[in-house]
Amino acid sequence: MGRPRQFSDTAVLDAAMTVFWERGYEGASTQELCERTGLGRGSLYNAYGSKHRLYEQAIQRYAATAGARQLQMLAEPAATVKGALRELMIGVIDADLADPGRRGCLALNAATEACGRTATVAALVRRQFDDLEQAICHLVTVGQRTGELRTDRPPMQVARTFQSAYYGLRALAKVTADRQALLDVVEGAVAAL
């Protein structure tokens, strides 16, 4: 009962996510969050409690949208494991370089920003990192079973190294637009599988 909410939860979180994505946690002001979500201060605080809790929800929303899209990409059957992982990386190069806002990966941004040390934020980011690690590890295991990949190294080790290269790639893409340098990372990482 009570007065029903006049906003869509996901729409508000999408807007808040975008603001945090563009500005970071510290750089996002509650005023801009109100403007971009369309909510008044009262509604926003009534619904989400604080800027920090809204941030946490925005990160979860990121996981449910951008993160899930990537995991789904990896889950779809592909001709080769190497091809799937290469496409994953090429995809983010294209996306990161095409984005004029140079926002990169919200999870990575959250991890490196000062408030990423917050237990809750760190846990949310870690979960996204772990999800990607798992998805890559699964692919590597499949690749080793089908004979596409070498079997002389533990799949988890291979997956973790590839995952590291992936986040490193996204960090590099933040400060360079040198596509060839980024593609070198991809080719090297794929060759190492």
Partner DNA sequence: CACATTGTGTACTGGTCAGTCAAGAAAAGG
Partner DNA sequence: CCTTTTCTTGACTGACCAGTACACAATGTG
Residue the block writes with tokens 């929303």: 61
Q: Is 68 exposed, middle or buried (0-12, 13-18, 19+ CB in 10 A)?
A: middle
Termini Cα distance of the chain: 56
Q: Does 72 bind DNA (CB under 7 A)?
A: no
Q: Report the residue number, 41 or 69, with the smaller CB distance to DNA.
A: 41
Q: Which stretch binds DNA (CB under 7 A): 22-30, 93-101, 125-133, 167-175?
A: 22-30
State the Rg of the chain over Cα.
Answer: 19
- For CA atoms 59, 65, 70, 76, the dihedral sign is positive
String marking each residue 60-99 x if it binds a copy of itself according to CB under 8 A = ----------------------------------------
Q: How far apart are CA 152 and CA 182, in angstroms?
A: 27
Q: Which stretch binds a copy of itself (CB under 8 A): 6-14, 17-25, 35-43, 67-75?
A: 17-25
Q: Report the residue number, 75 or 192, with the smaller CB distance to a copy of itself.
A: 192
Q: How far apart are CA 185 and CA 167, in angstroms?
A: 11
Q: How far is the CB of 10 from DNA (least distance, A)?
A: 14
User: What is the contact surface with a copy of itself in residues (CB under 8 A)?
Assistant: 22-24, 26-27, 101-102, 104, 108-109, 111-117, 122, 125-126, 129, 153-154, 156-158, 160-169, 171-172, 174-176, 181, 184-185, 187-189, 191-192
